[in-house]
Structure 1
């Protein structure tokens, strides 16, 4: 019992995966570095700004102490006399009253924690966030004047600096990620170039060029792969040549006894009328099988020569229309139906084209009620010859397999007479040797084309 087939997982192409890996690694690295840089810089700059604000508040508190200790004390001048960075505001609590440098500055907004520490006599500072932005508050008790001094320093400039830093780091991360993706694309292309060369060589080998090999081009890392691939191709080449020689040798060795057997069968067949009915039937079956065997051996010899590359194209000038008319007449087929005007003067291997036509006509006669139309069309510098039959047609799933060796379709398996199973394979091989292509389609009037 077999389980349900697992759905095939779709994976991204290798080059895209390598590029994405480079980009993600760069993004992760630059993001970590940028975040670390930002938070370290932010912590350092905030600490420095708070330290500066604290030192400035202590200096200004001494000035406020001298002003408040004079006679008469001048608390209004304190909030205007102190110096500090832009955006610094002052609050002074003296003799139960609050004095501020800005109307918008409300003493009630002071955090209770810092206010309590300052009232207890300690210098304190705290960072707060208000609708106007982030600020640092430094509180200093002035014991000599029984006063409390506060400075509120805005961190707006620092926040703008940190914003610029964050934007710069973000832009740098994006640029680094894009550059890393481009580098990954270039690296993946170079890394995959040996695979592309291997693919090209494999395609050439699959198309019949068994002399193609890979070259490591001095790359020590590729040497084992290249050597293994070339050794595999050498083994396949040797096996194909060995099998071809074996089939050729066997077929050649069978020709002599087969010729004698065919001659003897013909003699016995001539005496069949004088024999009893059962013996005559047996002789007829024997003669039929000998004929089939002879055709099979001859086809095997021919296809072995094609596999071995022993066949050579012999071109000669010929009028194609006249040639096809003669060949079709000899095969008892219809005359050519010309779809376009000539010229029809061409150079071709007449023996090979005649062999192709003979196999196609024989296949149509045996399995498809004969040839119904022979078409001839010229398309630029290419010529198309079509052969339509009167059979049921060829199923889509069988149109590639029909040219395989010894393949027989459903109609062929139902017939009592049989061919060698190599006829259409020989047609495909001869067509390929001539530089052409062959395909099967549905004929407009039914049947196969």
Structure 2
């Protein structure tokens, strides 16, 4: 199957258009200039040759009328112009002022017209050189006069002018390309600003706007873009407030239901079937409460709300606190440098690590190891489980909201835990991803920027 060639970008098309336009204009001007100048120079050269030939022919005719004077003597008396050969034919015999000029080749283009009594002028390449041949019949003396002028200087002039015009056309084309590049740069600058603003907005910087311009042709673009962003931000704020309000309003009935179910669970008079129903309701309510808390957390993260003051956090202490809270046993391998530090919101980072540990315990067959290291200005915290791992096709989708892997019947968890981890990482200018562990399980990597002091120390160590 043949591959389609890549499509050219707008800048390339603009540059190519300017260059092609400059080439077309320069070629039109070059051809027009060349042929106009060539016609003028040739006409002037022919006029001069014809005038000179008339003068010399009149002199030869006058001398031949003198009794006792032959053609050879007459040719020796006249002084033709430089690079000009004089030929005279009388009584079927040819006489020449230059024995190197082939008579037949030089005069054959005009001989017939001269024999018919007409003045003729022609160009030929006798002797592989450009010549102007003028033939004049000398009536009254029975002779024909020819002048062959070597026009090498005219040919050289035309060649030089052609080369100069070709170079000028090439330079004009290059200049047109440069002008097109500059014009494309100026034209695409606002589009580039819009693209950069869109990229920053997609990265979460919702206060980014395109700078206003006085250009009336671009003001509509920048104004429309800023208005669109304002509308989107307003809609996001509205949705966030709506979700927060709904979550807040749901907390009260959920708390009431939890309390009521707690009372029912302690009632010894319930029948076995009623007790089973109450236990099922309590489990589902607990899942609902967890999902509600996760939704509230995601709403805060989406809004960029800080839950505590950012500070320098020791990764070793965070991991120890999370593992103690999760109640993992001594079978978990922990390898975290004591001096590894990050800068962020303690509550949010703690929650993200707790979600990774909970995910390993609930869906990954159990937590096996937690280790961390500094890499390229970031602290990479690895949470490894003993499960079957995550298929490569699912390693990005599992961070989507309400995404679950495994069997369709699996209903444990809200499906928001890993989304909270990803949102927390983005809020801290970090990232999170999943890969296959050396043991075959899943290895979730949470990468967060090092604290400034730790980053400086790491830089000195590398140096």
TM > 0.5:
yes
Residue in structure 1 matching 2:288, options 293, 305, 309: 293
Partner in structure 2 of residue 206 of structure 1: 202
Deviation at 1:95, TM superposition (A): 2.2
Partner in structure 2 of residue 353 of structure 1: 349
Partner in structure 1 of residue 48 of structure 2: 52
The answer to whether the Cα contact below 8 Å between 2:87 and 2:94 also exists between their aligned partners in 1 is yes
Partner in structure 1 of residue 252 of structure 2: 256
Once structures 1 and 2 are overlaid, which stretch shifts more, 282-291 or 364-373?
282-291
Partner in structure 1 of residue 326 of structure 2: 331
Describe how 1:66-85 pairs up with structure 2 within 5 A. 66-85=62-81
Change (3 A) 1:118 1:288: same
Deviation at 1:316, TM superposition (A): 4.6
Partner in structure 1 of residue 418 of structure 2: 424
Deviation at 1:315, TM superposition (A): 3.5
Partner in structure 2 of residue 306 of structure 1: 301
Deviation at 1:342, TM superposition (A): 4.3
Residue in structure 1 matching 2:111, options 108, 115, 120: 115
Query: Are 1:37 and 2:33 matched, yes or no?
Result: yes
The answer to whether the Cα contact below 8 Å between 2:22 and 2:172 also exists between their aligned partners in 1 is yes
TM-score (norm 2): 0.88
Aligned residues: 440
Partner in structure 2 of residue 238 of structure 1: 234
The answer to whether the Cα contact below 8 Å between 1:377 and 1:385 also exists between their aligned partners in 2 is yes
The answer to whether the Cα contact below 8 Å between 2:364 and 2:385 also exists between their aligned partners in 1 is yes
Once structures 1 and 2 are overlaid, which stretch shifts more, 266-275 or 124-133?
266-275
The answer to whether the Cα contact below 8 Å between 1:129 and 1:135 also exists between their aligned partners in 2 is yes
Deviation at 1:272, TM superposition (A): 8.4
Deviation at 1:142, TM superposition (A): 0.6
Deviation at 1:434, TM superposition (A): 3.0
CA deviation profile, 1:57-116 (whole Å, cap 9, x unmatched):
111001111221112122113333333432211111112211112223233225555212
Describe how 1:38-437 pairs up with structure 2 within 5 A. 38-110=34-106, 112=108, 114-271=110-267, 274-277=270-273, 279-316=274-311, 319-333=314-328, 335=332, 337-338=334-335, 341-344=337-340, 348-379=344-375, 382-409=378-405, 411=406, 413-437=407-431
The answer to whether the Cα contact below 8 Å between 1:42 and 1:162 also exists between their aligned partners in 2 is yes
The answer to whether the Cα contact below 8 Å between 1:325 and 1:335 also exists between their aligned partners in 2 is no
Deviation at 1:273, TM superposition (A): 9.4
Change (3 A) 1:257 1:139: same
The answer to whether the Cα contact below 8 Å between 2:75 and 2:86 also exists between their aligned partners in 1 is yes
Deviation at 1:379, TM superposition (A): 3.6
Change (3 A) 1:407 1:416: closer
The answer to whether the Cα contact below 8 Å between 1:324 and 1:336 also exists between their aligned partners in 2 is no
